[in-house]
A and B are shown apart, each in its own frame.
Chain A
Amino acid sequence: MNNRNNRIGARSIIALFVLCLNTGALGQMGTPTPLPPAERQKAEAESKATGVLANYPHLVDITASTGIHFEHLSSPEAKFIAESMSGGVALIDYDGDGWPDIYFTNAQSVEMAQHGVKARSALFHNNHDGTFTDVTDKAGVGYPCWAMGAVVGDYNNDGRPDLLVTCLGGVVLYRNNGNGTFSDVTKASGLASDSAWATGAAFGDYDGDGWSDLFVSHYVDFHLDDLPAFGSGKSCKYLGLDVQCGPRGLKGASDNLYHNNGDGTFTDVSKKSGVDDPERRYGLTALWSDFDNDGKLDLFVTNDGQANYLYRGDGTGKFEDVALTCGVAANEDGLEQANMGVALGDYLHTGRMSLLLSHFDNEYAALYRNDGGMNFNDMSIVSGIARGTQGYVGWGDAFVDFDNDGWQDFFLVNGHVYPQVDHAPTTSKYLEPKFLFINQKDGTFRNASKLAGEAIQVAQVSRGLALGDLFNDGRIEAVIENLVGQPMILRPEGGPPNHWVSFQLEGVKSNRLALNARVRATAGDLTQLGEVISGGSYLSQHDLRLHFGLGSHERVDQAEVLWPDGKKEMLTNLAADRFYVVREGQGIVSSKPSEHGVKLP
């Protein structure tokens, strides 16, 4: 008995100190999440699968032919966390020509900053012929700040999309002047008070007054004149190696909500609205949506290594964090993960918006299925997403229908945080490939990352991801911003000749960009839900137009538009393969066919 007791005591001691050891040895963010039942074997099989995916387009790297020359600055050693988090990318049709343009954010290293070197962000104009032209200087958006990400909104309801850049030290709001130029109105709009490390941002009219309000999440309390020393302290180690410090061990920064006053200015209502993040969690990506379909906007914010926020809105400007009780704060074991990017979509055609979050390498991407009534369930493992994503550091992610079959697949870009990982005793590498998961239409996904062409297998240090039909031909391109080096633009080529439809919504009583307006499109047996979203992915902005793949259906039987002010508009019997512009209360105001004639270089 004594012997047994002694042994149990010894076990306890071991367990206790092993816990200690692990706290130092684990990654810097999130909680390790071992893959349970059957998933590892499947993952291994999938990782070995090669060949070609039948009836699915190849994702081809067309970056070189676009004429885009942009290089995100980087530090080879990434000694500071601020050097690892930038790279959001935004699609913005800034000149209103109906063709998405691209804005890449840029950030210097600490050393560069200390020597007065600035990083040049860049705006590329879509030439309608498959190429882009750098119009940064003319537009005046080259040097907003140490830029993290960018989102689009029309803060002054003039019908022209404005650009908000999040920075290491606040935000910069660029007003679109409508003549190819932008003006920095940060100070005039009252946003200059935002001075912390801003990461995610999202425009959304939470109180239904027709003016887009602005939420800004903040990450770490980081100052260039008080730098956490590389490799110092417990939170600056990774698998025994010295790495950048943080976010653990560093102070977080609280979030802000700015109410649009309707006169070109904003008022900080963070505290009274209940979204001020008094715990100072490490906020990253944010987006607005109506998760419980009650007609009132809710707000979702990912927090790195901490519980996410899901703020349920009451429509009047009061919010309550219900993430924990809804099941989206942590994984199925209640472990808080390194939540970074957010994909939002109705991948199951249930009429509800689910969430898919990207995570750190000792975790996996987490799929939270929206089961209605603010009830989410962690489907990461059963959906097959977990097994394909564990071991990688995920960032920008999105539901996307590359093959236009009417079912949203999942696309994720990766890249480690620490360059030092290449020398660590782990299989993880600094440069990582991208992932594509095909929707099996039954709640599961098939990992097709090695079956959709060589391009997505190219290892990079990716961060931002923005999706949009760059060439107006009915196919969705992926614009990926990399932390190190040039971006990558992927175009789906080949695959089935499925049909599609695209809607550009214009609010009248609602906010002009119709942010958070929804379209429920039905074509035969397909009923899909789309929502106009500001922000999301990882500090990025997708094309605001809603794109639906229609499979073999040549017409849309009906498209119900749910405007942010609650009004519904029904459009019926729409021809497929066209771009529709729908104005609130006026129905379709214009439509045009796809630009099949565009010859890509």
Chain B
Amino acid sequence: MNIYEALRLAWSGLLSNRLRSGLTMLGILIGVSAVILLVAFGNGASVQVQNQVQALGSNIVYIYPASARGAGGVSQGFGSGSTLTQADVDALNNKAQAPDIVTAIPVTNAAGNMTWQNQNWFAQTTGSNQDFAQVRNYQIATGSMFSADDVRNDAKVVVVGQTVIDNLFNGQDPVGQSIKINRQSFRVVGTFAPKGSQGLGNQDNVAVVPISAAWAYLAGGRGKNISQIVIQATDSSTVQAAQQEATQILLNRHNIGDPAQADFTTQSQQDILNTVGQITQTLTILLGSIAAISLVVGGIGIMNIMLVTVTERTREIGIRKAIGARRADILLQFLIESMFLSGLGGLLGIAVGVGLSLWVSSISLGSSGLLSSLPAPVVSGPSVLLAFGVSVGIGLFFGIYPANRAAALHPIEALRYE
């Protein structure tokens, strides 16, 4: 018997019991569309987070001081050391030694309890230099960034982000206003345009002051501490080279021969992306496997229906054997029928899954409310192919037992079956 006849036979078998075939296919349809939709959500989360990380700047390398070691060598935790100095920053800005580094800036963080008139707000206050906006990819909206002179002169000036403006100034123009940070007066000289991304911490809840002013007025006696050096590489392709140059320069300056003993750590945007990628991939796999359970349930449904079909058509199987059908012919007939069920259910499931994903992404982007907090689903091509392949495979796997049972029937007993 050729494949065309087998397909025709399977098709007429399915048509002869439309409702039953339809309901069985529904099981696979739901499973496949659930896999596609949930994997699309996982992908969406991954894309969303990646975009956020990209928004930080794709050509950025962070350098943190290593953990300080107390007496007896007990680590005091990540970033607790104070091994980085302004001289390190200057060395990193030396174009001769570090051709792939555009700019290195020092960053120090201080708690920022802010008040303006009767308003209160808490924002991370960052001390840095005039290149902060450029390196961290902030745009100036109004006013201007503070100048190199401001940094030299410990000027008490501040540039604030959109969240601070929203919460502190009651809709008034902040530029030129004087606010208090930890009871010290700072004059607002500029504002950052909102970055608009959330999830990795609110990047608009910032206030940036000259690092010298931060040391002088906000450090609380901790001295000229640099909690982070941020390096901008010339290009996203030279990030790795910049990271290596920075590591070499700092190892030399700190007189450390063995990189494993370094008193600082470097982290590029790529490192963060990789970490985040692992997390979202785990999430996607988790979601996908939950959905895959429903696919297995659908497969069991197919097996169930195929067993019923084989029992129902026992006599027909006997007739076919009497007129010359071989075991393989009967096996093929029922296998193709179950693969038809699952494959067709899979195709419809792909249509429904992709359709739902597109629909959800179209409504969740614009609207507010519960759905807007979900990432926009992004359908991945491989997941669609995989879902189809798996559904056909399920038909094959769960069809083998019933088909084998049909093929093994003894023709005489099958013919006698009422």
A and B co-occur in one complex? no
Mark A residues whose CB is within 8 Å of B. none
Mark B residues whose CB is within 8 Å of A. none
